[in-house]
Amino acid sequence: MCQANVYLLRDGQKEEIMREATFLEVTDKGVRVATFFEEPRFVPAKVATVDFLKHTVTLVPYEGREETHGRTE
């Protein structure tokens, strides 16, 4: 299986948002990510990079928006 760890890049620091994500959906308001056994998370951010070899996704936040948990925009 191919899961990825998802990070949010803020002020030059990577903050882990989710480990072993199995689903990622880009919407016009942000990104929704989910794993097998956790509630989906909605992050008002955009995808900066995807590294297929390292199984990582890096997001950058939209200005002035906060992360919401369990919300499915």
Judged on CB neighbours under 10 Å (0-12, 13-18, 19+), 52 is exposed
Instruction: List Cβ neighbours of 15 (8 Å cut-off, separation of 6 or more).
Output: 7, 8, 9
Q: Is residue 53 part of a domain?
A: yes
Q: Is residue 25 part of a domain?
A: yes
Q: Is residue 47 part of a domain?
A: yes
Residue 72: pLDDT band with limits 50, 70, 90: very low
Q: Is residue 34 part of a domain?
A: yes
Greater model confidence, 34 or 66: 34
Q: Is residue 69 part of a domain?
A: no
**What pLDDT sits at residue 28?**
94
- Pick from 38, 40, 33: which is nearest to 8 by CA? 33
Q: Is residue 16 part of a domain?
A: yes
Q: Is residue 73 part of a domain?
A: no
Structural domain including 18 reads: 4-64
**pTM as predicted:** 0.83
Q: Is residue 71 part of a domain?
A: no
**What pLDDT sits at residue 17?**
95
The tally of domains found in the chain comes to 1
